[in-house]
Amino acid sequence: MAKIETPRPIRGTQDIFGAEAEAFAHVVETFERVRRLYRFRRVEMPVFEKTEVFSRSIGETTDVVSKEMYSFEDRGGESLTLRPEFTAGIARAYLTDGWQQYAPLKVATHGPLFRYERPQKGRYRQFHQIDAEIIGAAEPQADVELLVMADQLLKELGIGANDPGAVTLNLNTLGDSDSREAWRSALVAYFRDVKASLSEDSQDRLEKNPLRILDSKDERDKAFVADAPQIDQFLSGEAQDFFGAVTSGLDAAGVAWSRNPALVRGLDYYRHTAFEFITDRLGAQGTVLGGGRYDGLMESLGGAPTPAVGWAAGIERLAMLVGDVDEAGAEVIVVVENDAVLQDGIGVTSALRRSGVAADLLASGSPRKRFDKAVKQEPKAILALSVDNGATAHRLRITGGDEVAIEGVLASYDWRGPAE
């Protein structure tokens, strides 16, 4: 018979284990705690939606829609897509579930997202994000609140705590749609004059996505980027005031920020505030948390014009910055020296756990091996069960520095004695 070959994991997916999984959980738990402080309401969203939810909001023709989504037909012939982001689904729910009645609505969620991309450091095909959005708030205070929450989250995660340069808030404004369009035209005119000197990629970008030339990594482009027209020259008075209110709000809240006039968004529905918390500790994937104001999105989904702003952050990248988090060890390990008292081993281990003590039971292999394993796990105490004069004897050996108060549990446990 042919040997059965173990299926390989799917490219870009990951099995997270041990200290890395603890770090992942720590990020999520911290996010949950902080979002409650800012009174963001928890939402759970479907992992797939009709494809049009994403194609209409992101733009039919963009590469991300045409090449980087996991789309498929279900058995009814409907085109569905695994969510590549949270924002579009939340916007859809806002329109279909009557959430307008709660406006301005602050919501938060987290979970897996799917993008068909080439995996690299901190970048996977199934990845996970935390996400926060404020829908129905046109005021710059909403942007400020989101940014202050993001800043507190990163600080509570300890990112940059002992290392002030580890992550910095880069902030920019894209203005309203008129300012943005004027800026875009000026950029195209400026770069067209020097087109031949630009990198090949940027020559393509000139037609498709001229704003992206600004954050090109190619040295040939950087010299021209430095002297390129800046958004500030094109901002309306209203847009200037909006950005001013955001920055003064950040200052009032004590959040450090730094203006980055080259920071742009890839999609057209973004307006005004754009921001990224950037680190240099994760290789090429520098953005740890990013977002902006997307006042244009709701209309593309058939809703009334609705101002909104939000951010998302990759849990894997945050977990990498947090570093490995130790798995909590057992406080007590119960070693059954004699199999005749296995039932008492099961019973007393359960009693310990019910009283809130983290406990493990070791009852396989030779007694020697059981003790070896127990000692290696470095519990605070080892509880050894053996047979003595027809009864179950237990000895508690304190192995760690900390006291383990389990005498009460042992005293109230009803020992059943060894099996015959």
Q: In the complex, which residues of this chain contact RNA (CB under 7 A)?
A: 8-9, 11-12, 14, 54, 58, 62-65, 68-69, 84-85, 87, 115, 117-123, 201, 204-205, 209, 212, 215-218, 265-267, 282-285, 290, 312, 364-369, 371-373, 375-376, 384, 395, 397
Tokens 């059981």 correspond to 370
Cα–Cα distance measured from residue 254 to residue 350, given in angstroms and rounded to the nearest whole number: 49
The angle that helices 140-156 and 237-253 make with each other, rounded to 10 degrees, is 30
User: For RNA, which is the closer residue by CB, 282 or 406?
Assistant: 282
User: For RNA, which is the closer residue by CB, 58 or 225?
Assistant: 58
* Edge-to-edge strand ranges of the sheet holding 79-82: 48-50, 79-82, 71-73
Cα–Cα distance measured from residue 214 to residue 216, given in angstroms and rounded to the nearest whole number: 6
Q: Which residues contact 55 (CB under 8 A, 6 or more apart)?
A: 65, 81
State in angstroms the smallest separation of the CB of 354 from RNA.
Answer: 25
At residue 327, what is the residue type? Answer: E
Q: Which two tokens stand for residue 58?
A: 């992101």
User: For RNA, which is the closer residue by CB, 4 or 284?
Assistant: 284
State in angstroms the smallest separation of the CB of 347 from RNA.
Answer: 20
For the CA atoms of 12, 15, 21, 25, what is the dihedral angle to 10 degrees? Answer: 70
Beta bridge partners of 71: 81
User: For RNA, which is the closer residue by CB, 155 or 281?
Assistant: 281
State in angstroms the smallest separation of the CB of 58 from RNA.
Answer: 5
* Edge-to-edge strand ranges of the sheet holding 381-388: 359-362, 332-336, 381-388, 391-398
State in angstroms the smallest separation of the CB of 384 from RNA.
Answer: 5
SS3 content of the chain, % helix, strand, coil (to 5): 40, 20, 35
User: For RNA, which is the closer residue by CB, 2 or 304?
Assistant: 2
State in angstroms the smallest separation of the CB of 265 from RNA.
Answer: 5
DSSP at 65? H
User: For RNA, which is the closer residue by CB, 174 or 356?
Assistant: 174
User: For RNA, which is the closer residue by CB, 39 or 217?
Assistant: 217
State in angstroms the smallest separation of the CB of 63 from RNA.
Answer: 5
First to last CA, the chain: 46
State in angstroms the smallest separation of the CB of 120 from RNA.
Answer: 4
State in angstroms the smallest separation of the CB of 360 from RNA.
Answer: 13
DSSP at 64? H
User: For RNA, which is the closer residue by CB, 75 or 376?
Assistant: 376
CA nearest 239: which of 175, 191, 300, 187? 175
